[in-house]
Each structure stands twice: as C-alpha cells, then as structure tokens.
Amino acid sequence: MTDRSIPALILCDPQAGALQVGALSLLDRLIVTLHRAGCRSIQVLCPGELPALKRTRAWEIQFEAGQQARPANEPTLVAVCELLVQPGDVRKAIRNNTRLTTREGELLPFGVVAPDLISKLTDQWLEGQGRAGDATGFTMDSLLQDCDHVCAEGIASRVCDVATAQRAERLLWDSLVSDSDGMVDVYFNRPVGRGLSKILVHTPVTPNQVSLLSVAIGLAAAYQFALGQYVAGVVGGILFQISAIVDCIDGDIARMVFKESRIGKWIDLVGDQIVHLAVFGAIAMGASKAALGSDAWRLGASAITGAVISFLVVMRGMLALRDQALTRWQQRIDQATSRDFSVLVLALACFDKLSWFLWMAGIGVHVFWIAALLVQWAAARRGETKGSVQP
C-alpha cells in the first residue's frame, strides 16, 4: 500500500510546545516530523506565542499558525504538541487511518480524525486551555474511543514537563544508531563520542564541519604512520581511533537536530575514502623504511588500487539496484565496511606489526570487490537491477 498525504493539525500549548528535547522545541520537532512523514499541509492552533522553530525555519517548511482552526473537508491528522514521535510511525498512522499508541499500549493524543469532528475537538481543546489537567487528552479519547489504533515501532512518548522531556531526550539519543556501526562503534566509538555530541547540538557547529575534522585527524594519523617509527606508529593508531570516534559524531548531530543533507552524506563517504587511502599509502611508506622494504610499496599499491575499485563497485551497486535489492545491498556493504578495523591498526601499531596490516589490506580489498561484483551479478540475474526486466 502506498503512503498517502493528508493535512495535519497541531494543537499547541505554548508552554508545553516550548519544552526542549535535544536542543529543539517539541513543536519544532513535531512540525519537521509531520513534514517528513508527507503531510501536505500543516496548521498549528496556538492560543499564544509560538515557541522557537529553528529547524522548521531553516528547512523553510510551510505551515499556518493561528488561534482558530480552518474548516476541514477531509480526514485530518491531529496531534497535540506534547509528543515525541517518529516519521515512520506517523506514516503508519496515516496509512491505517487510525490512532497511535506507545509500545506499552498507551493511547496517545495523535490520530486521524474525521472532518466533522475537527471543529468539536478544537473548540473543546481551546476551552480546556488554562484548566487543570489534560483537557486535550480527554477530548481526543472521547472523540476517538471507537477508532482503531496502531502501535508505534519507534519512539512515541508524551512529554509534559522537564522530567519527561529529559526522559524522551535520553530515548532519542539511545535510538541514534547507524546500520554501518560495527561492534567497536556500538560499544566504544559512539558511547565515547556521545558526550561531545550532546554538547555540540547546542552550538552552531554543523555535521559537515565535524566530518571535515574527522578527515583532518585521519590525515594526521597517516602522517605519523608514514614516519616508520614505533612511537609515531602508536600515535598514528591513536589518532586513527580518534578519527573513527569523531566520525560517529557527525551523524549523531545530523539526526538529532534534523541537519541531514545530501552533500553531508557525500562529504562523509568521500572523506572516509580519502582517509583510508592515505592510511594505506602511509603505512606502506613507513613499512618500506623498516621490515618490508620494496615489498611494502607493492602491497600498498595493491591496497590502494583495491580500495578504489571497491568504492567504484559499491557506487555501481547503489546506482544500479532496485529499491529492495538496494536495501539489502546497503546492509551487506555496511556490515563489511565498518570502522572496526581502526582497533586492529592500533593493536598492530602497539606490537610494532603494522606491516601485517598491509598484507591483510592488500589481499582483503580485492576479495571484497570481487564478492561485491558477484552479488551484483546475482541481483541482475534475478531482475533486481534498474535496467533489467522483472519477472
């Protein structure tokens, strides 16, 4: 079933909507979330001054704000702003024409409302503003009591005060993982970098700037490897590990405060390749001054050539495969290209065995791109490429 687009109406209590979760107001998060879920028009009913809307303004998301809802002539997604929800669950509620619940089964004041009930709901909500208790929740419950509901798969939580806002923020941070995360990322790199991420989301620092910093640190590591000295190799291994930690931070910031961009993905992707090529070449240079001599250059050239071919093969797969096959392809690539090998480099540097890494990389990268080509060839045989005819 294809996703459909319907109007959205947000009932915003100014005080609750201004609560901060991850450096953004609740209302700001909800508007961006509804926009990303495909709501074609967004109206905010707010009997006071709107909270700060940094990302809504930055993305130039169009919305209408006022103290009176316009008449509805079709089903409308209605939500109170005291909620933290995810775009996928919003699409799910719209697709099923129903109401959203938490994983624990709690009914949320968030659901698709028939047009003839919109006026009654908004009138009761406005009357309830300023009273003790949650008049909005009562109104939604009474009007949607016979409505089917669907369970949220992502974070779906009420946020009504500072304590619940802090809890929601913790849940949001914990949910920020990447398909490309390896074991070292999950248990070391990302937890270590998370503290800095939580600081940087409150600053003007952008994910792209963090990506470039990661590249700079990685190139500094390569310089140390090229010296061919034991201490320099250990320093290079430490810097390379720090580069991997910083490389986790850019994605955290982007996802937490809606700063993802196409160019950011390319900076991250190309930057990683530059660092890897530089590290391969630098380790070869350092090893040529010590144990391996001229063999180091041949292994380094093999590793660099294989890395370039691997990058081209990966890009070919991303451009050629259809949607479902592309998803499987990306999952396999993410599993095979994690940052975990930075720990191996550091360990080998500590034991003065960086030359061993050259042998591993010089052979391993060619095994990788050959296997990747075979996967693409099998996908083409199944009709999963864009130029093929599906059975």
Per the CB < 8 A criterion, the answer to whether 4 and 76 are in contact is: no
Q: Residue 280 class from Cβ within 10 Å (0-12 exposed, 13-18 middle, 19+ buried)?
A: buried
The full set of domains in the chain, from first to last, is 8-171 (3.90.550.10), 179-381 (1.20.120.1760)
Which pLDDT score is estimated for 1? Answer: 46
In order of 118, 125, 176, the CA distances from 194 in angstroms are 42, 39, 10
Which pLDDT score is estimated for 66? Answer: 87
Q: Residue 41 class from Cβ within 10 Å (0-12 exposed, 13-18 middle, 19+ buried)?
A: middle
Give the helix/strand (H/E) hosting 238: helix 230-256
Mean pLDDT of all residues in the chain? Answer: 86
Q: For residues 134 and 146, what is the distance between their CA atoms, to the nearest angstrom?
A: 20
Chain centre distance of CA 51? 25
Q: Categorize the per-residue pLDDT at 124 as very low, low, confident or very high, splitting at 50, 70 and 90.
A: confident
Q: Categorize the per-residue pLDDT at 122 as very low, low, confident or very high, splitting at 50, 70 and 90.
A: confident
Each residue of 295-336: pLDDT tens digit?
Answer: 899 999 999 999 999 888 888 776 766 555 555 655 566 555
Per the CB < 8 A criterion, the answer to whether 22 and 257 are in contact is: yes
Query: Where is average pLDDT lowest: 15-24, 28-37, 257-266, 365-374?
Result: 365-374
Each residue of 349-361: pLDDT tens digit?
Answer: 999 999 999 999 9
Q: Residue 194 class from Cβ within 10 Å (0-12 exposed, 13-18 middle, 19+ buried)?
A: middle
Specify the pTM. Answer: 0.84
Each residue of 143-187: pLDDT tens digit?
Answer: 666 667 889 999 999 998 999 999 999 999 999 877 667 788 888
Query: Scanning the structure block, which residue is given the tokens 């931070």?
Result: 249
Instruction: List the one residue out of 198, 222, 219, 197 whose CA is nearest residue 210.
Output: 197
Each residue of 242-300: pLDDT tens digit?
Answer: 999 999 999 999 999 999 998 998 898 899 999 999 999 999 999 998 767 788 999 99
Which pLDDT score is estimated for 209? Answer: 97
CB neighbours (10 Å) of residue 92? 19
Per the CB < 8 A criterion, the answer to whether 81 and 10 are in contact is: yes
Q: What angle do CA 154, 32, 137 make, to 5 degrees?
A: 65
